[in-house]
Amino acid sequence: MIDIVFLGDLILDVPEPDHWLAGVAPVTRAADLAIGHLEVPHTARGQEMVGDVPAPGADPTHLAALARAGIGMVSLAGNHIADCGAEGIADTIDELARLGIAHAGAGLDLARAQRPAVIVRGGVRVALLSYNCVGPEMSWATKSRAGSNPLVVRAADGGPTRPQAELIEADPASLALMAHQIAQARHHADVVVVALHKGITHRPAELAPYEQPVSHAAIDAGADIVVGHHAHIVRGIELYRGRPIFHGLGNGVVVTQALSPAQDHPARAEWAERRKRMFGFEPDPAYMLAPFHPEAVNGMIGRCRINVDGTMETAFRPIWFAPPGRPEIAEGAQAEAVADYIDAIGQRAGLSPLARVWSDGWVRVAG
């Protein structure tokens, strides 16, 4: 039996990273394997990418805090990992390798960005594949360019894939390639996890039209677990063919000055104002390091327990975010409220209600 736990987006570009991880670290350390999504490059070098809202490079020394928190594997295929160019990606993956944190989803060319990460825990081989569904296309790796591993999703306006477009349908050739890569990983691993950077940012409950088809395609191809991130607000959980899909883990540990309304960077300042108009919320000033939708204070850590007979139990641990953005384990009535919220938003998005059973602070779920 092994326990694998999952955190959503990780951004640690303010001092004292161990402090910001401390609220969830007891859970991640207790698991056999903890997997998160590293959202931004960790580098002191690189040239800022032009064309999206660029994230600054975080301090490379902060990655060691992930190792100290027991996080052994990260997905990298997201819309910001290339924001400091090839140097930012190189520095990030070099430091992850030095720390012994397995990683997938970004590289100095497409072949390396596509490569799964494999790690062994308790005699069980776990493979992680990581895909960026939201663009921007300039951040995707090619045969000759560093970047993230793409899964092409068509925009309703016919334009390029980009985070703020209305993304509606996955490209069939891209889906077929994902299925082939999952099948290959299946030959070499006991458990296959597929991480999808997907969804609609800063909007409660809603799933974009492509999200379920892509997630289902991953499981049809042989994935055991699908985890989503990118929206910076938690989504519902679906069980498909007996396998879990965490449609959006929400924020794992996201603390950054780059998203606050007061900015001296023109593109980030413009985005802070545009975000208010697009999504209709004013960030709570108490959350200066995590200025997200008010409902984003609800969160979770996902868990899959794989038993010796191959059966799988799915659960989540409710978390909430204390000002100015530090995640903490929810307890008592607060934990009940977060669990109710996660079930409710799943149903609002068209997912089936979940049977829920509490056990040692975890919410076990079944279809």
Question: pLDDT by residue (tens digit) across 80-137?
Answer: 999 999 999 999 999 999 999 999 999 999 999 999 999 999 999 999 999 999 999 9
> Taking the alpha carbons of 178, 10, 288, 300 in that order, is the dihedral positive or negative?
positive
CATH number of the structural domain spanning residue 218? 3.60.21
Tell me what pLDDT residue 272 has.
Answer: 63
pLDDT, residue 275, reads: 65
What pLDDT was estimated at residue 265? 63
pLDDT-based confidence at residue 261 (cuts at 50, 70, 90) = low
pLDDT at 260 over 90: no
Cβ neighbors of 350 (< 8 A, separation 6 or more) are: 207
Q: In the predicted model, what is the mean pLDDT of residues 238-267?
A: 85
The pLDDT tens digits for 264-302 are: 667 656 656 666 666 677 778 899 899 899 999 999 999
The pLDDT of residue 56: 83
Which sign, positive or negative, has the C-alpha torsion 179, 181, 184, 185? Answer: negative
Res 367 pLDDT > 80:
no
CA distance 149 to 128: 13
User: What average pLDDT does the segment 325-333 reach?
Assistant: 97
Q: What's the rounded mean pLDDT across residues 311-320?
A: 97
Q: Find the domain containing 211 and state its range.
A: 2-366
pLDDT computed for residue 69 by the predictor: 98
290, two tokens: 């995590």
Tens digits of per-residue pLDDT, 3-43? Answer: 999 999 999 999 999 999 999 999 999 999 999 999 999 99
Q: Which two tokens stand for residue 255?
A: 């603390």
| pLDDT in the model for residue 364 | 98
Say yes or no to pLDDT of 64 above 90. yes
Separate counts of helices (H) and strands (E) for the chain: 9, 20
Residue 96: the pLDDT is 98
Average pLDDT score over residue span 228-244 = 97
Q: Are 254 and 20 in contact (CB under 8 A)?
A: no
Over residues 234-250, the mean pLDDT reads: 97
Total domain count, the chain: 1
* Model confidence at 330: pLDDT above 90: yes
Determine the pLDDT at residue 283: 79
- Does 188 have pLDDT greater than 70? yes
pLDDT at 45: 84
Higher pLDDT, 56 or 358: 358
**263 — pLDDT class (breaks 50, 70, 90):** low
